[in-house]
Amino acid sequence: MKFLCDQMLGTLAKWLRIYGFDTFYSNSEIDDLELINIAKEEKRILLTRDKELIIRGRKKNLQVIQVNNTDLDKQLSLVLKNVDIDSNLILSRCLICNNPIEEIQKNKVIEKVPKKVFENNDKFWFCKSCNKFYWKGSHFENMLEKIKKIT
């Protein structure tokens, strides 16, 4: 399942990526017509709060989820209520660029992450697209708690 979030739903897009969903996040330079074309070509579910975009998307026979709430937990519940979540995919995508991340050997990150992070973690992941490193720090436990709460 793939999603497209308009520019008003950046935090939702990030959290869908945390869950492992391929999630395109729009920026202000992409107009509604281009968003609709991307959603259609890439078979993405359009997530938006924009009433005009909802109408246009539905006219193009896109699957559209109208996100009315500004509360993240309620947004996630709305989007994920009929979705199977694969626990193996949680934290498998880059939160910045949406590309899959890959495990990287610890010895290859020694100069790339803070010293304490290196000392306190055994596993690391890397995004080849944006050169971002990931590890299971304290934020990881917070993410897992939120995931459990929502699902």
The verdict on 11 and 61 lying in the same domain is: yes
- Summarize pLDDT for 40-78 with one digit per residue, the tens: 999 999 999 999 999 999 999 999 999 999 999 999 999
The answer to whether position 94 is within a domain reads no
Domain range enclosing 58 = 2-86
The verdict on 78 and 117 lying in the same domain is: no
The verdict on 78 and 108 lying in the same domain is: no
Asked if residue 56 lies in contact with residue 36, where contact means CB atoms within 8 angstroms, the answer is yes
- For residue 146, what pLDDT is reported? 76
Question: pTM of the predicted model, to two decimals?
Answer: 0.88
At 67, give phi and psi (nearest 5°): -100, 100
The answer to whether position 116 is within a domain reads yes
- For residue 100, what pLDDT is reported? 96
